Amino acid sequence: MDEVLTWTTLVVLIAGFVSGVLASILGVGGAVITTPLIRFLGASPIASVGSTVPAILPGALAGSLRYHREGYIVWRVALTCGLTGMAFAILGGWVAGIVDARWLLVLTGFLVIWSGAALLREGLRHTPEVIEPDTESDLPAGEIRGGTAAMVALGVVGGFLAGLLGIGGGLILTPGFNLGLRLPVKSAIATSLAAVAMMSTTAAATHIALGHVDWRFALPLAIGIVPGARVGARVTVGSSEHTMRILSGSLLIVIAIILLAKELPGLL
């Protein structure tokens, strides 16, 4: 039994590292990787959702610090969406406890496919030679399409999903910032991760209070995700906008297929 527990912990640690890398590359909480994995390792459906949330904050903070130093975070967007989403993450966490969590995982899968397809389509549409602004200083206020109302709307949806699905909300925010607000993809990823860090505070508190967190999985995830997030941020900073669209979109679609293949057969 101890040997099984040791191997499980090691697998979860590695998964935390990998999810940290992908979290920083995709601007999400990383749970799109860890949720299906810990479900596979034996966690209950609701624990699979709730146990990933405490690990989101340290990973998101680690990635955000690197992006902040590089000047990629648009703080006006991050703060508006993040603070709005914090309140709705509480509501999402409460709703997660009263519905069938298996359907939450399936919903997560379809959201991941939508996000991945949107980013991949944009990447294939643009050529590598297209030069896009990278930093906040390159983005006049008028270029943020939709203004405060659009930021608040994205914060409401992202925050609710952060609490409901345990995914940090970035699956909505990253494509929303890029395709909706028209932020360059690197700024969209960085800004999403900063907003996710804020939303994850109330989402984690809600899931912990409701008993949805299995710490056998949550602690190794939190430990592994921080160095992974730093690696992922470095990869993103060194890659082109075109490459990041293609890479992010492709990874999201693969993740979604794995998640749906795990959960759909048991519901049909």
Where is 134: in which H helix or E strand? none
The tens place of each residue's pLDDT in the chain, 268 residues long, gives 455 557 788 888 888 888 788 777 766 656 666 777 787 788 887 888 788 888 888 888 888 898 999 899 999 999 999 999 998 988 888 887 787 767 776 877 787 787 778 778 877 776 554 444 444 434 444 457 768 888 999 999 888 887 877 766 677 788 888 878 888 888 888 999 899 889 888 888 888 998 989 998 889 888 888 888 888 888 878 877 677 778 777 877 887 787 788 778 877 7
> At 16, which amino acid appears?
G
Where is 96: in which H helix or E strand? helix 75-96
d(C-alpha 230, C-alpha 16), whole Å: 12
Rounded to 5 degrees, φ, ψ at 109 are -60, -45
Contact 27, 188 (CB under 8 A): yes
SS3 of 212, please?
coil
SS3 of 126, please?
coil
Confidence (pLDDT) at 225 = 85
Residue 23 exposure: Cα atoms within 13 Å on the Cβ side: 42
Give the other-Cβ count within 10 Å of 140's Cβ.
Answer: 8
Confidence (pLDDT) at 37 = 75
Confidence (pLDDT) at 29 = 59
Residue among 83, 68, 60 nearest 148 (CA): 83
Confidence (pLDDT) at 34 = 78
Instruction: Give pTM, 2 decimals.
Output: 0.75
Confidence (pLDDT) at 5 = 56
d(C-alpha 79, C-alpha 83), whole Å: 6
Locate the DSSP E strands across 45-116.
Answer: none
Where is 162: in which H helix or E strand? helix 147-165
d(C-alpha 20, C-alpha 251), whole Å: 14
d(C-alpha 63, C-alpha 230), whole Å: 5
Confidence (pLDDT) at 156 = 92
Residue 216 burial by CB count (10 A; 0-12/13-18/19+): exposed, middle or buried? Answer: middle
Residue 176 exposure: Cα atoms within 13 Å on the Cβ side: 27
Sort residue 100 into left (φ over 0), alpha (ψ -120 to 50) or beta: beta
- Considering its fold, how many domains does the chain have in total? 1
Domain of residue 75: give its range: 2-266
Handedness of CA 84, 34, 72, 183 (dihedral sign): negative
Confidence (pLDDT) at 77 = 94
> What's the Rg (C-alpha) of the chain?
17
